[in-house]
Structure 1
Amino acid sequence: MTVVLALLGFQVVARFGFSRSFSWLEEVSRFAFVWAVYFGFVIAAEKDRHIRISLHIEALPRRPRLILFTLADAVWLVFNAVVIWHGYWFTMSMFEFPYISQTTGINLVWVQMIVPLGFLLMSVRIVQVMIRRWQGEEEHVDHRKGD
C-alpha cells in the first residue's frame, strides 16, 4: 500500500504541481493495489481474521467447534484448489498468448499471477491455522469484540 500511495502521490504532485502527467503511474498503481489486496487476504488467513459467521459455532463445546471449523476450512481449501488450478493454467496460457499492457508494455501475466499465488499462500496459512487449532495453541476468537 505504501507503493500505491507513493505512486499516486507523485502523480498528483506531477499533475497539479508541474502540469505533467505520467499515464503509466496510474496503471502500475492499480497493479500494486491488486497485489496488496491479495497479500492482505494472506495476512487475514494467517491471523484467522477472515470473514466467517461463527456466532452459532461459539456456543458449541470445544470438540464439535473444532470439527465444524475444520470442515469449513476444508471446503475453503477445496475452493482455493480450484482457483489455483484454473489460475495456474490461465497464467500459463498468458505466457503462450501474452496480453500486453497498453501503457507499460509489460505482459499482464505478471499482474495476473497473483491470483494462483495468493490463493496458494492463503491455503498454506489456512492449513497452519488448522494445525494450531487442533494442537490447542489457538482458539477461534471473535475479533469484532476487539483484541
Structure 2
Amino acid sequence: MTVVVALLGFQVVARFGMGRSFSWLEEVSRFAFVWSVYFGFIIAAESDRHIRVSLHLDMLPNKARLAMLTLADVLWLAFNAVVIWYGYWFTISMFEFPYISQTTGINLVWVQMIVPLGFTFMSVRVIQVMVRRWRTGEGPVDARMGD
C-alpha cells in the first residue's frame, strides 16, 4: 500500500504542481493495489481473521467446533484448488498469447500471476491454521475483541 500511496501522491504533485501527468503511474498503482489486496487476504488467513459468522460455533462443544471449522476450511481449500488450477492455466495461456498493457507495455501475465500465487499462499496459511487449531484447541479469532 505504501507503493500505491507514493505513486499516486507523486502523480498528484506532478499533475497539479508541475502541470505534467504520467499515464503509467496510475496503471502501475492499480497493479500494486491488486497485489496488496491479495497479500492482505494472505495475512488475514495466516492470523485466522478472515470473514466468517462464528456466533453459532461458540455454542458447540470444543471438538464439534474444531470439526466444523475444519470442514469449512477443507471446503475453502477445495475452492482454492479450483482457482489455483484455472488461474495457473490462464497464466500459462497469457505467456503464449500475451496481453500487453497499453501504457506500460508489459505483459499483463505479471499482474495476473497473483491469482494462482495468492491462492496458493493462502492455502498454505489455511493449512497452517488448521494444524495449529487442532494442536491448541483454540477457535477462530474474534476480530471484535481486538488483539
- TM-score, structure 1 length as denominator? 0.98
Deviation at 1:137, TM superposition (A): 6.3
Q: Deviations over 1:73-111 (max 9, x none)?
A: 000000000000000000000000000000000000000
The CA distance in 2 between the partners of 1:87 and 1:61, in whole Å, is 38
Please state whether the residue corresponding to 1:19 is helix, strand or coil. Answer: coil
The CA distance in 2 between the partners of 1:56 and 1:137, in whole Å, is 17
Deviation at 1:133, TM superposition (A): 0.2
Aligned partner of 1:114 in structure 2 is 114
Aligned partner of 2:104 in structure 1 is 104
Change (3 A) 1:6 1:137: farther
Deviation at 1:138, TM superposition (A): 4.0
The CA distance in 2 between the partners of 1:3 and 1:137, in whole Å, is 39
Q: How many percent of aligned residue pairs carry the same amino acid? A: 78
The CA distance in 2 between the partners of 1:50 and 1:7, in whole Å, is 29
Listed as ranges, the gaps of 5+ residues in structure 2 are none
Listed as ranges, the gaps of 5+ residues in structure 1 are none
Deviation at 1:141, TM superposition (A): 2.6
State the number of aligned residues.
Answer: 147
Aligned partner of 2:129 in structure 1 is 129
Please state whether the residue corresponding to 2:116 is helix, strand or coil. Answer: helix
Q: Deviations over 1:6-45 (max 9, x none)?
A: 0000000000000000000000000000000000010000
Aligned-CA RMSD value: 0.9
Alignment of 1:38-57 (within 5 A): 38-57=38-57
List structure 1 segments (4+ residues) > 3 angstroms apart after TM superposition: none
The CA distance in 2 between the partners of 1:122 and 1:141, in whole Å, is 17
Please state whether the residue corresponding to 1:53 is helix, strand or coil. Answer: coil
Q: Could you tell me whether the CA contact under 8 Å between 2:62 and 2:137 is conserved in 1?
A: no
Aligned partner of 1:12 in structure 2 is 12
